[in-house]
Amino acid sequence: MASRVLSNQKRHDSPAWRQAMTVRLDYNAMMAATVGKPSGLAVQDLNGLAGKLAAAHRQIVERTGPGADFLGFLDLPYQDDTALDRIVATADRLAKLGDRHVVLGIGGSYLGARAVLDALGDPLHNERGRLARNGRPRLYFEGNNLDPDSMRALMDFLPAGRPAEAEAGFTVNVISKSGTTLETAVAFRILRQRLAQAYGDRYSERIVATTDARRGLLKEQADREGFETFVIPDDVGGRFSVLTPVGLLPAAIAGIDIKELVAGARSMAERCKSTDFLSNPAYLYAALQHLSEERGRNIWVMVAWGKALEGLAMWYDQLSAESLGKAGRGRIPLASVNTRDLHSRGQELQQGPRSVVVTNLCVDRYAPDHPMLWDAGDPDGLNYAAGKTMGQMLAGARQAVTFAYSRDQRPSMTLHLPELNAYTLGQVFYLFELATLVEGYMAGINPLDQPGVEDYKKFMFGLLGRTDMAQWKREFEKAPTTDPAFVL
């Protein structure tokens, strides 16, 4: 996969390079010295959280906090290279079997992988020839919505019979711990039947199932039909699973260096061992958000400065919403892209209710980044910006917006990625995962469960005819009937 990474930038073991690639959190625009009182925070406000942070730290280190059975994500930065080598080998095998690869998953089984590919891949990957893609297949995501139009278009695109050439073939990676997630299971049945139609009794070699180690319908089906499997660890929840095969296998299929992703996460994990929370990026981020929510700023907007980071903002949207939105509290997360959304949401953020905290995601250096050329006639009046690159223009817009917010006492902070590569992205994943855990513990909730997600499913399965959910169908049928007077 063609990459956004700087020229010939592969894996670097140089300590100097690693240091230069350190992700930094700039929270000046959260502080009273920049945005004034009462909107801004003071250092003593942060220090006042020392007790809560120390308690959260003990719960994490001792693994005694709510949901401690799902703290396995803390260990993922230290996973063995052998496991990563197997993922790469399988990715290479699938890449040789066909030029179309479909990833099936929803929620945490989808958003992490999508964030990686959006950030590190070529935006026009699927439009380029196989040679330009370094032999990596085109990638498609399905099973993340009940969408008839999207599924129809994909099925029209995939071969119904055995392709004459291997490159015209397709493969599938289905991701589900239980195998019962409706959106993914429906899509998998449809695609598995198409594979069997195209490849006969050899269809199973084109399927990889990422699922539970021992139980569940998908695991049983994989064992019965002979799919290769990867394990979603028992102690890792879906939205924390990007550094498991859930996120790493799709990334490897795209040709992304997954060892660098893990190395980046490991470097952040080491930084976050500090008990001095002002030196611990994850604890500091959690503290800033906790204080903001306590002061009535209960809407969080993560602004991706560049389309490549939109998937990352959406990934964190789910991480935050499912982890912190419970017990009648929690920040409302929103994802945005600038400068695109300055022409829509920008109005409200600048002059709307003072209930928002903005986190900017930005890349400090792009490559290649060509300058805008001088035009002698200046027909568009843009010669004032001649010689500036688009990256410089983007940085100028971000600095202007941050200043405008600060000038009106609207707090924000900025996470700087020196470059956009696998190493820096791995750091960001771990930072936000740990920060979400800490924020949940400070709020006195379990950030590792999602009981509310299950409420609608009982009624949905009942309405669709699952016999074990018949009682929920009966309850639904007792609901007040629709009054035509209230339907226009």
The residues annotated with a catalytic role in the active site are 322, 343, 457
Do the Cβ atoms of 394 and 339 come closer than 8 Å?
A: yes
Do the Cβ atoms of 101 and 170 come closer than 8 Å?
A: yes
Give the separation between CA 322 and CA 325, rounded to whole angstroms: 6
Measuring CA to CA, which residue among 434, 316, 333 is closest to residue 65?
Answer: 434
The one-character DSSP state at 147 is: -
What is the identity of the amino acid at 127? E
φ/ψ of residue 227, rounded to 5: -75, 145
Q: What angle do CA 294, 300, 306 make, to 5 degrees?
A: 150
The tokens of 117 are what?
């590919």
Burial profile 449-480: b = 16 or more Cβ within 10 angstroms, e = fewer: bbeeeeeeebebbbeeebeebeebbeeeeeee
Secondary structure (DSSP) of 369-402: -PBPPP-TT-TTS-GGGTT-BHHHHHHHHHHHHH
Measuring CA to CA, which residue among 169, 475, 443 is closest to residue 292?
Answer: 443
Angle between helices 182-199 and 217-225 (to 10 degrees): 10
The one-character DSSP state at 480 is: P
The tokens of 231 are what?
């394990």
